[in-house]
Structure 1
Amino acid sequence: MKNFIQKYALAIVAVATIVTFSAYKVTGTNAAFVTTPIYFHGDATDPDQVADESNWTTTPNGKSCNGDNLACMMLVENTDLTGSQLDPLKITLDAIEGASALGYIPEHIGGSGSPNPIIINEN
């Protein structure tokens, strides 16, 4: 038995190490989130409509979202949605004046969902 242990000591230690690390594997730390685009359907000159989470859905709005003046779209985690609509418990919005003061853009102010949704506005 002593010869067996001496001969295979390194292999026994390696197997024990693998079993130990496998038993204590942390799950979910490298889980990838699915990013989903949501689009604004409302009047971007009305701050109440921009801040209303029900106006943000996965249905495209047909606008070119490439500026900083008016509400247009956001990229959020799919867990921030209820069906195809933004869940107000996950992401709470407010509206702030856009760069040219022609309308409003969304501002993330709270909720239990993604801490930093990516906000993309239009001109």
Structure 2
Amino acid sequence: MKTLKKISFGAFAFILGLTLVLTQSAFKGTTLKTIKRIPLTVYYHGTTFSQASVTNESNWSTTPNDGGCDEEPEVACQMTIDSQFISGGTLQQDADLQATEFDNDNYFVSGSDDPAAEYINRSL
């Protein structure tokens, strides 16, 4: 009987140890990979540079404009933004553009819901 107790205690200890090893270290989950950003460039096609026009997402598309973007913060020209904010070649409303006035109702893009977006404005 004592021998049976020793064997069953040893078997119990072995199974418990094996269970602890397998559940605590053998099957560690892998961390999720970060989703890679896919930047796309959109260009301004509005007829004016008013705040309403510059922040109107339908005035922005992936079709290049006549260029001339020189990085002067005076009026809107182009921006590189994550593709999640673009659908069918047009900027979507969830981009939530912000504009800053240069002078006399002329605005340039100064922000959006994409913290990594890059804005290239141009001279008036």
Alignment TM class, shorter chain as reference? 0.5 to 0.7
Paired position in structure 1 for 2:107: 104
Q: Structure 1: state its 5+ residue gaps.
A: 1-16
Do structure 1's residue 84 and structure 2's residue 89 form an aligned pair? yes
Q: CA deviation at 1:28?
A: 2.7
Q: State the TM-score, normalized to the length of structure 1.
A: 0.68
Query: Which runs of structure 1 show a deviation greater than 4 angstroms over 4 or more consecutive aligned residues?
Result: none
Paired position in structure 1 for 2:79: 74
Q: Deviations over 1:26-75 (max 9, x none)?
A: 2232x321110000001343221111011011010021211211100111
Equivalent residue runs for 1:1-123 within 5 Å: 20-21=27-28, 24-29=29-34, 31-66=35-70, 67-89=72-94, 91-98=95-102, 101=103, 103-108=106-111, 110=113, 114-123=114-123
| Change in 2 beyond 3 A, CA 1:83/1:40 | same
Overall identity of the aligned pairs, in %: 27
Q: CA deviation at 1:109?
A: 5.1
CA contact (8 A) 1:43 1:50 kept: no
Look up the SS of the partner of 2:77 in the other structure. strand
Q: CA deviation at 1:108?
A: 2.5
Q: State the TM-score, normalized to the length of structure 2.
A: 0.67
Residues paired across the two proteins, number: 99
Question: Using the alignment, how far apart are the partners of 1:70 and 1:44 within structure 2?
Answer: 9
Higher Rg of the two aligned structures: 2
Q: Structure 2: state its 5+ residue gaps.
A: 1-24
CA-based RMSD of the aligned residues comes to 2.3
Question: Using the alignment, how far apart are the partners of 1:25 and 1:51 within structure 2?
Answer: 41
